[in-house]
């Protein structure tokens, strides 16, 4: 039976204030850094370009970097129809068990001791069953969202995929159900005995940045850089 439409278009219930912790989403270390708040989780996902999709193939773990996008309470990943993991999501019920991760590195944490060096980061881990998207409208929505994940507004300023391209493209979805975020902030956690050591300690912040857009060599000179791109 098809999902009943909801305001976000996913067919799933509205998000609760927080995801329920599970045995797989509660970290074994630094539990105080974990968060299940859906606003925190969504903000980390929505500001990322790349995810890593992990699964088991022929008894061995495989992790693939790929583009993705969030629409409501679902994540969408696309790839070639010839891609083995994407084929396997539709090969059997209930689909393919996966683990999807997203990470932002916000700073390099330099401590006085080698042991306490670290990074400030924001990450999300999602466990679940990935399934192939077959509904044409949902596929279009997912593909537009993936393009807009790279640059918001880009899907409306590019030619949509034609029938041949759509036939060569597979889309899988992963429901946001078993989810957690983990965040580290602040400076180094040096041992009291090391505080007098003559070594610099602190944080080197890392921030994303954009250089000026470089036009394609074959671009019509009359076509100007669009506003949504200069806004970056």
Domain locations along the chain: 31-230
Cα–Cα distances (Å) from 68 to 23, 101, 153, 189, 224, in that order, read: 25, 11, 16, 35, 28
pLDDT band (50, 70, 90) for residue 120: very high
Overall CATH class of domain 31-230: mainly beta
Please tell me the predicted confidence (pLDDT) of residue 88: 61
Q: Which of 10-24, 117-131, 184-198, 212-226 has the lowest mean pLDDT?
A: 10-24
Alpha helices in the chain (DSSP H): 38-46, 84-88, 136-150, 163-167, 227-230
d(CA 192, CA 95) in angstroms, rounded, equals 51
Comparing C-alpha atoms, which of 70, 65, 104 is closest to residue 183? Answer: 104
SS3 state at 109 = strand
- Residues 6 or more apart whose CB falls under 8 angstroms from that of 166 comprise 139
pLDDT exceeds cutoff 50 at 12: no
Query: DSSP letter at 147?
Result: H
Phi, then psi, of 36 in degrees rounded to 5:
-120, 5
Cα–Cα distances (Å) from 62 to 56, 98, 129, in that order, read: 6, 10, 15
pLDDT digits (tens, 9 = 90+) for 180-207: 999 999 999 999 999 999 999 999 999 9
pLDDT digits (tens, 9 = 90+) for 66-102: 999 999 999 999 876 666 666 666 555 668 999 999 9
pTM for the whole thing?
0.85
220, 225, 228, 232 alpha-carbon torsion, rounded to 10°? 140
CA torsion sign for 63, 67, 71, 76 is negative
pLDDT exceeds cutoff 60 at 23: yes
pLDDT digits (tens, 9 = 90+) for 129-185: 999 999 999 999 999 999 999 999 999 999 999 999 988 899 999 999 999 999 999
21, 24, 29, 35 alpha-carbon torsion, rounded to 10°? -30
Please tell me the predicted confidence (pLDDT) of residue 13: 43
Check if the beta carbon of residue 24 is closer than 8 Å to that of residue 178. Answer: yes
How much is the average pLDDT of 106-123? 97
């Amino acid at each position: 039976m098809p999902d009943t439409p909801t305001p976000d278009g996913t067919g799933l219930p509205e998000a609760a204030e927080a995801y329920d912790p599970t045995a797989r989403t509660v970290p074994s270390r630094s539990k105080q850094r974990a968060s299940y708040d859906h606003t925190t989780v969504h903000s980390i996902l929505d500001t990322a370009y790349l995810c890593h999709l992990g699964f088991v193939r022929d008894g061995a773990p495989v992790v693939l970097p790929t583009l993705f996008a969030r629409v409501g309470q679902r994540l969408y990943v696309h790839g070639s129809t010839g891609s083995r993991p994407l084929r396997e999501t539709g090969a059997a019920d209930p689909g393919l068990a996966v683990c999807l991760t997203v990470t932002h590195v916000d700073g390099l944490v330099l401590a006085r001791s080698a042991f306490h060096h670290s990074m400030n980061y924001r990450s999300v881990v999602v466990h679940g069953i990935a399934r192939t998207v077959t509904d044409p409208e949902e596929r279009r929505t997912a593909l537009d969202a993936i393009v807009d994940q790279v640059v918001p507004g880009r899907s409306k300023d590019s030619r949509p995929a034609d029938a041949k391209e759509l036939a060569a493209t597979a889309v899988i979805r992963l429901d946001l159900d078993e989810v957690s975020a983990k965040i580290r902030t602040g400076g180094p956690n040096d041992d009291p005995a090391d505080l007098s050591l003559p070594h610099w300690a602190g944080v080197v912040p890392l921030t994303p940045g954009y250089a000026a857009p470089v036009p394609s060599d074959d671009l019509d000179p009359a076509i100007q850089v669009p506003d949504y791109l200069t806004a970056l």
